[in-house]
Amino acid sequence: MALSNISLTNTFTEQMVRLNQVIVEVNKVIEGAFLTTGNVVITGTSVTGDVLANVVGILKTSTMLLGDGAVTRPSIARFAGANVGLYFPTTNTMAFVTASNNVMYLLPDGNVSVGSTTAAAKLDIEGTFRANGRTYFGANVGIGKAAPTRALDVVGDIWATGDITMES
């Protein structure tokens, strides 16, 4: 039987669904596949918080459309930790959240911001940055200088412990 435009409008405490003018009990377990070529709409009041549907197993879809969410209520979040996840603060922007704090933004221009909501470069880090191991830069590096003109361009004092070797 093809199903289309199913609307669950009763509360889950009533556990009833109107399907093609027939009322079916929702509390029965359906094993196997639930297939439809139409729309499935679930509305109502849950008896356990705000959970309207609970899927155990794999949910497969070609496209999933989510609400924007918020920093305190991400669109994609762990059930047990709703203040950790991913949300969409503005058009074409994604934000990662931990403990209800923005920690990383993916911006429409392709820039990534860590520790801030804006990025002036492909990777913009607000705060301490640590690289443990070899680090390669394919262009000039500026310390205290936004537009370096040499391989290493430093504005300010340089302090070193140990040897400094220079070759010409």
- Cβ atoms of 86 and 74 within 8 Å: the answer is yes
User: For strand 141-143 and strand 152-154, is the pairing parallel, antiparallel, or unpaired?
Assistant: parallel
Q: What's the CA gap between 40 and 43, in Å, rounded?
A: 10
- Residues 35-83 have pLDDT tens digits of 666 666 666 665 566 666 667 777 777 787 888 988 888 888 877 766 8
Nearest one of 36, 29, 42, 33 to 4, comparing CA atoms: 36
pLDDT value at 14 more than 50: no
Please, where are the H alpha helices in 17-122?
Answer: none
Instruction: Supply the pLDDT for residue 1.
Output: 43
pLDDT over 70, % of the chain: 65
> Residue 123 corresponds to which amino acid?
L
Cα–Cα distance measured from residue 120 to residue 157, given in angstroms and rounded to the nearest whole number = 26
Kind of pairing between the strands at 123-125 and 112-114: parallel
In sequence order, the β-bridge partners of residue 124 are 113
Global model pTM greater than 0.75: no
